[in-house]
Amino acid sequence: MFGCPENLTLVSEMATIQPANVRTFQPARVQSRAWLFSRDVDLLVFLGSPVVALLLIPLGMRAGVLYGDTPDWTWVPAVLLVDVAHVYATAFRVYLDREELARRKTLYGLVPLIGFAFGILLYSRGEIVFWRALAYLAVFHFIRQQYGWLALYRAKAGERGRLGKLIDSGAIYLATIYPVVYWHTHLPRHFWWFLQHDFAAMPVALDRVLLPVYLLALVSYAARSIYRSLVLHQPNPGKDIVVFTTAVCWYVGIVGLNSDYVFTVTNVITHGVPYLALVYWYARSRRDKIGGIYRTLARSPLIFLLVLWLAAYLEELLWDRGVWHDRAWLFGAAWDTGWFKVILVPLLALPQLVHYVLDGFVWRRKNNPSWSL
């Protein structure tokens, strides 16, 4: 998320018709302090998406795709319908919410303009320069999102201690940073973030130094969590799920298996699904107040997702026809864009860049006094 202290699976609890004994979605203020949305929704989003991602690994083994490029039957649901779609969900948080847009119109107007200008400048200096800069911004965003979930769970449970914050922060940061450092110290890998060679190599010694710190951080978190649960009777299961699944998915997806398929499913599903859930929760809470087209687009999870999927498809159509030329069966014949790539690539990457940057502002609690989970 979000670059701040403070993401599909909501469908089951947001259906229009539900059995009487099924608890419906409610704002978090009336739910248990142990959960952000509700117990069932949190378990579906934060535990369900990692479980699905991990179960897809043996499926990939059986299908024989583990050590090749991610197959289309995985790319479409994971990348197109989750990863690319979740980027456009930022529009519901910012650009479709007229009150929010008016509140910080300078920020929301300048970020796309400046981002586009910088994108052209970087791409004109070389393709690898552009993609490397975007890759590192993406890594920062992915890491900070996991910290953002942890921070929200701490705030919800009223955890304020400095030592606890240090242990929690160390665990979530090391759970994400160590696998990335391992990646940098063991290049080349069979996968990359955006483009081959978009990461710069680092000395192997850095991995050896960081590994014991990584293990200590996770053991410390586990010990504190057990103590708080069994001795103080102050469990925070949602936070524990976030830390545990983050550590497992990032290790398996980056360190454990040198596979593009595994990295894709463990990376984008666990990142995008919770964010989609968060934005739908926000859009649902705002739809009656904003009204108009916003109310229509946020009236049900299906409409919400269809809008995002359409935007994602149109973007990927332009990417494939104009740049990648990988999936003519889905997007059509390639275009010869020639020199226009210096404008087209930064333009198509702009939604991602805006998403990465604005998430550092729109979910920050201190900048949003009227917003809370």
The tens digit of pLDDT for each residue in 31-59 reads 457 899 999 999 999 999 999 999 999 99
- Residues 169-189 have a mean pLDDT of 98
The C-alpha atoms of residue 152 and residue 236 are separated, in whole angstroms, by 11
Q: Is 255 within 8 Å of 276 (Cβ atoms)?
A: no
Q: Quick check: helix, strand or coil at residue 125?
A: coil
- What percentage of the chain exceeds 70 in pLDDT? 91
* pLDDT of the residue at 369: 67
* Bigger pLDDT: 23 vs 358: 358
The tens digit of pLDDT for each residue in 183-211 reads 999 999 999 999 999 999 999 999 999 99
The C-alpha atoms of residue 294 and residue 312 are separated, in whole angstroms, by 18
DSSP 70-122: PPHHHHIIIIIIIIIHHHHTHHHHTTT-HHHHHHTHHHHHHHHHHHHHHHHHH
* pLDDT of the residue at 34: 82
The C-alpha atoms of residue 34 and residue 24 are separated, in whole angstroms, by 17
Q: Which of 58, 335, 60, 352 is nearest to 194 (CA)?
A: 352
* Bigger pLDDT: 227 vs 11: 227
* pLDDT of the residue at 32: 55
Task: Say if residue 346 is preceded by a cis peptide, omega within 30 of 0.
Answer: no
DSSP 15-51: -SS--TTSPPP--GGGS-TT-SS-HHHHIIIIIIHHH
- Asked if the model's pLDDT at residue 2 lies above 80, the reply is no
Sorted by where each begins, the domain ranges of the chain are 35-367
- Asked if the model's pLDDT at residue 16 lies above 50, the reply is no
Q: Which of 187, 204, 205 is nearest to 196 (CA)?
A: 187
The one-letter amino acid at 112: P
* pLDDT of the residue at 29: 41
- Asked if the model's pLDDT at residue 134 lies above 50, the reply is yes
- Asked if the model's pLDDT at residue 23 lies above 80, the reply is no
DSSP 334-362: ----GGGHHHHHHHHHHHHHHHHHHHHHH
Q: Which of 322, 287, 327 is nearest to 307 (CA)?
A: 287
The one-letter amino acid at 67: Y
Which residues, other chains included, contact 37 with Cβ-Cβ below 8 Å and sequence gap of 6+?
25, 28, 31, 45, 277, 281, 373
- Asked if the model's pLDDT at residue 262 lies above 70, the reply is yes
- Residues 111-116 have a mean pLDDT of 98
Which residues, other chains included, contact 254 with Cβ-Cβ below 8 Å and sequence gap of 6+?
179, 180, 182, 183, 263
Q: Quick check: helix, strand or coil at residue 206?
A: helix
Q: Is 174 within 8 Å of 213 (Cβ atoms)?
A: yes
Q: Spell out a b/e string for 263-282, using b for 16 or more CB atoms within 10 Å of the CB, else e.
A: bbbbbbbbbbbbbbbbbbbb
The one-letter amino acid at 29: R
Structure tokens at 99: 């009150």
The one-letter amino acid at 202: M
The tens digit of pLDDT for each residue in 310-339 reads 999 999 999 999 999 999 999 999 999 999
Q: Is the pTM of this model over 0.75?
A: yes
Structure tokens at 129: 């320069």
Tokens 């650009």 belong to 95
Q: Is 242 within 8 Å of 146 (Cβ atoms)?
A: yes
